[in-house]
Amino acid sequence: MPSDRERGGAPLPALAMATTREGHALPVIDLTDPRFAVPEDSAASRALYDAFVEGERQRDRIPRFIMQMMLRSAARKSRLVRTLFTGDASYLDGMTTYVMKLGADQLVPPYDSPMDRRLAASPHVPLMRLRMQLIARLLADGLVGHLAGAAGAPLHLINIGGGPALDSVNALILLRRARADLMRRPVVIHVLDSSRDGPFFGANALEALRADGRPLHGLDVAWERHDYDWNAPAPLAKLVHDLARAGGVIAASSEGALFEYGSDDAIVANLEALRQDGAGVRLVAGSVTRNDETRRRMMEMTRFRLIPRGLEGFTPLATRAGFTIAQVGQAWLSDQVLLRPR
């Protein structure tokens, strides 16, 4: 289990732990904890990005066949490398993404080999965590006004393709820290995902954070998983319709999922299902893969079918679906957008 660090001479509390479907206990990411928080200022994130770019340039100097041999050797020693570079999946699964976000210092078995730690110490890993942090902050800040105007109404957070959905969970932590008075209401996190692994861990992570002494202790928060394919959004439209009729405040997010892997038509159809002609969600937060040479080179090393639209490619899709981009948070590898229905 990761050792606690000290801040100002006082030891930090032990990290909350939650169990995966495989039975492994992993630390729970609380972005208000200094062990996980990432500086959001542009200089700090740019330094991480520059280090990442330099690493990619150094790897480009290695002949491809030698790099492939190196990766095959590393994959025998690292679950993370094996998933990233030798699998045949077209997307990075939610649990591998989550483990990488833990960072080298917080890795635990079976993800703590020297090669795992080396990969998790890469500069792009804090940028992945920054992506989640920005999504959580966009959600939390964007919801304050809506919750203040709907005292006691249930809050529904819909997470599309979110795996463990820790962006939604951390949005609740940020909301409670900023405006505890607004959290005196039932909350439901709806995780729409075809996999069971990420949502299973996410449900356990939520319960760990609701334990005595943890940041969500005492809150009325429920967790629901919905089997979902974003290419067939009718169940999403029905869910939003039913929740809206019941009078809840609805917000949605998709971190590292729909806006990065989905087709143009899927993005528009899901946003339309969320909007419900203005009667659905109050806001949507999501990450959009940047369209630059470094990101494209990184994608070539894996089989993941990310679509690097950039804001220039995503904005027309949001407009078609009846949304405007109200705010953008930059993590260099991706842009995090806050959408509001027109």
Instruction: Render each residue's pLDDT in the chain as its tens digit; 342 residues.
Output: 444 555 455 788 899 999 999 999 999 999 999 999 988 877 766 777 676 666 666 665 555 545 555 555 555 666 666 666 655 656 677 888 899 899 999 999 988 888 888 888 888 788 889 999 999 999 999 999 999 999 999 999 999 998 999 999 999 999 999 999 999 999 999 999 999 999 999 999 999 999 999 999 999 999 999 999 999 999 999 999 999 999 999 999 999 999 999 999 999 999 999 999 888 999 999 999 988 765 555 555 555 678 999 999 999 999 999 999 999 998 878 999 999 999
The answer to whether position 36 is within a domain reads yes
HSE value, Cβ hemisphere, 13 Å, CA-based, for 241: 10
Query: What's the CATH number where 281 sits?
Result: 3.40.50.150
- Looking only at the bridges linking them, the beta strands covering 187-192 and 221-226 are parallel
pLDDT at 301: 54
Domain edge (last residue) among 123, 144, 179: 123
- Looking only at the bridges linking them, the beta strands covering 155-160 and 25-27 are unpaired
Residues 172/216, Cβ–Cβ less than 8 Å: yes
The verdict on 194 and 297 lying in the same domain is yes
3-state class of 180 per DSSP? helix
Residues 303/89, Cβ–Cβ less than 8 Å: yes
pTM of whole model > 0.85? yes
The verdict on 117 and 229 lying in the same domain is no
The residue to which tokens 């210092």 are assigned: 105
The verdict on 167 and 296 lying in the same domain is yes
Q: What is the DSSP letter of 12?
A: P
The backbone torsions φ and ψ at residue 194, rounded to the nearest 5 degrees and listed phi first, read -80, -20
Q: Is 292 left (phi over 0), alpha (psi -120 to 50) or beta?
A: beta
pLDDT at 1: 45
The residue to which tokens 């690493």 are assigned: 55
The verdict on 83 and 40 lying in the same domain is yes
Looking at beta carbons, which pairs linking 74-77 to residues 24 or more positions away fall under 8 Å?
74/115, 77/113, 77/114, 77/115
* Rounded distance between C-alpha atoms, residue 219 and residue 209, angstroms: 10
* Rounded distance between C-alpha atoms, residue 231 and residue 262, angstroms: 8
Domain edge (last residue) among 123, 143, 170: 123
Residues 248/156, Cβ–Cβ less than 8 Å: yes
pLDDT at 57: 64
Domain count, the chain: 2
The verdict on 118 and 136 lying in the same domain is no
3-state class of 251 per DSSP? strand
The answer to whether position 223 is within a domain reads yes
The answer to whether position 228 is within a domain reads yes
Helix axes 293-300, 42-60, angle to 10 degrees: 50
Number of alpha helices (DSSP H) and beta strands (DSSP E) in the chain: 13, 11
* Rounded distance between C-alpha atoms, residue 193 and residue 257, angstroms: 10
* Rounded distance between C-alpha atoms, residue 308 and residue 261, angstroms: 9
End-to-end Cα, the chain, rounded Å: 48
The verdict on 194 and 96 lying in the same domain is no
The answer to whether position 1 is within a domain reads no
Domain coverage including residue 191 = 128-341
Task: Kindly state the tokens that stand for 123.
Answer: 């500069």
pLDDT at 6: 52
pLDDT at 216: 98
* Rounded distance between C-alpha atoms, residue 83 and residue 203, angstroms: 23
Residues with Cβ within 8 Å of 219's Cβ and at least 6 positions away in sequence, in order, are: 172, 176, 183, 187, 210
The answer to whether position 302 is within a domain reads yes
Domain edge (last residue) among 123, 143, 177: 123
